[in-house]
Structure 1
Amino acid sequence: MLRCERCGVSFLWTTEDQRQQTAESGGQPTHCPGCRLLLPASGRERGVVKWYNERKKYGFVTRTAGSELFAHRSNFDGTDRLHPGDLVEYAVEEGEKGPMAVAVRRLTISE
């Protein structure tokens, strides 16, 4: 039995999971299956779209820490546009004018 570092739940690490995990990273998981599903992938963050101008094809994403990142349509994966309130996952790269969201993927659509 292992204990999740995020939620504290005890969980089983099955033989199948052990084989897969060992092949991928070589170590025990630190989060339960539920938290692994909810957490962003390594090197990625989650945030909420503050605003997006469809005509100009750019907008801003509010990070969980509160700062904002520039997001341009050319850096979207699998979506044509964003709406204020959409939950997105992205990587951060340094652009000409500072950090920007790249490989932006919409997770939920705001209503």
Structure 2
Amino acid sequence: MGEKDQTGVIKVYYPVKGYGFISRTAGRDVFFYRTSAEKEESLIEGSTVRFNLESTPKGPKAINVVRVS
């Protein structure tokens, strides 16, 4: 089960590699793949995003990433 409606800021995004990290105010940075985003062009460093967390063997990752601002 994942956590609902987390928010954070895209800390870094590597378009060529297809992944990045989201900073949260509470907790560690979260990994995400570009395929987890609603629109890849919305993955801009510094943008606020809403997402859900999914547990993986390597730790939580963001899914359903949507740009808020």
* TM-score, normalising length: structure 1: 0.55
1:60-88 CA distance string (max 9 Å, x none) = 000121410001011111x1141210100
Is residue 40 of structure 2 the alignment partner of residue 74 of structure 1? no
User: What RMSD over aligned residues (CA atoms) do the two structures have, in Å?
Assistant: 1.5
Within the candidate set 41, 45, 52, 1:91 is matched to 52
Give the strand-richer structure, 1 or 2: 2
In structure 2, runs of 5+ residues without a counterpart are none
Distance of 1:55 and 1:92 partners within structure 2: 23
Distance of 2:49 and 2:18 partners within structure 1: 16
Within the candidate set 47, 53, 65, 2:26 is matched to 65
Give the paired residue count.
66
Is residue 60 of structure 2 the alignment partner of residue 103 of structure 1? no
For the pair shown, the structure with the greater C-alpha radius of gyration is: 1
Q: Deviating runs (4+, > 2 A) in structure 1?
A: none
Give the helix-richer structure, 1 or 2: 1
Is residue 15 of structure 2 the alignment partner of residue 54 of structure 1? yes
Which one-letter code corresponds to 1:49 in the other structure? I
1:104 deviates by: 0.3
1:3-54 CA distance string (max 9 Å, x none) = xxxxxxxxxxxxxxxxxxxxxxxxxxxxxxxxxxxxxxx8211000000000
Distance of 1:66 and 1:48 partners within structure 2: 13
